[in-house]
Structure 1
């Protein structure tokens, strides 16, 4: 089975017309969680707990080198300052794509005296995360 490296997975930020790759991106993590609801009752067999799936949520953490005049970074900057949501997607070379609408909960800039200016970004999902397989 073919394997891919993380360097081929890119985070895109949507502007009014199209997705723009976030320049300078080094890392991206798609976090997905689901709540569980305890459905155990007195008549549960074998003394094993029973659980049902509850609400799901997702977030994306990313970081990278700050690139001057990057269009995607500009969309994020504007959305953060104006308290607006952003549409984003993570795309794999196989065509696998995770798309969602997010709030920006962390948008940090680091400016060390002996290294590149870098950013850290946390996007928390608002609504469903959609998955396209590219097939």
Structure 2
């Protein structure tokens, strides 16, 4: 008889694994996007920040009061260099030509953050005793939309 069901460990952690998050770039058009992941990803991050506006005054009891101001976002990745990869080629092209990329950060549950940004860093490391890697920073231009 084949085994079709196994018990679930009641003590397992509900942690979200970093390997399940992915950065993709649109190599299609605005109307017909063609999303391709940047190949060889080892580490991907999404950063969202807001400027801090100081709203303190003499009657706040000696406590600082702040409000969120202008927001910004960035995406960063480190990947193994895969020379034939379309996603990495698109990032390199965007950096070389100074054009924006349409990028997407995908969560394991299917949530997506999509926006336009400039490739502000595109670096390669080629150690003699390890794989070649690419690191890239995309700095957002405008809103990052949650889909």
The structure whose residues are more often strand, as a share, is 1
Aligned residues: 131
The equivalent of 2:18 in structure 1 is 6
**TM-score, structure 1 length as denominator?**
0.89
Asked if 1:99 corresponds to 2:111, the answer is no
Aligned-residue offset at 1:53: 1.4
Counterpart of 1:32 in structure 2 is 48
TM-score w.r.t. the length of structure 2 is 0.82
Instruction: Structure 1: state its 5+ residue gaps.
Output: none
CA RMSD of aligned residues (A): 1.5
User: Higher RCO, 1 or 2 (CA under 8 Å, sep at least 6)?
Assistant: 1
| Structure 2 unaligned regions, length at least 5 | 1-12
Rg (Cα) greater in structure:
2
Q: For structure 1, which segment, 106-115 or 1-10, has the greater mean C-alpha deviation from structure 2 after superposition?
A: 1-10
- Structure 1 residues 74-113: aligned runs within 5 Å: 74-113=89-128
Deviation track 1:36-93 (CA, whole Å, cap 9, x = no partner) reads: 1111223x24232222211111111110101121111111111111110101111012
Q: List, as ranges, runs of 4+ consecutive aligned residues in structure 1 with deviation greater than 6 Å.
A: none
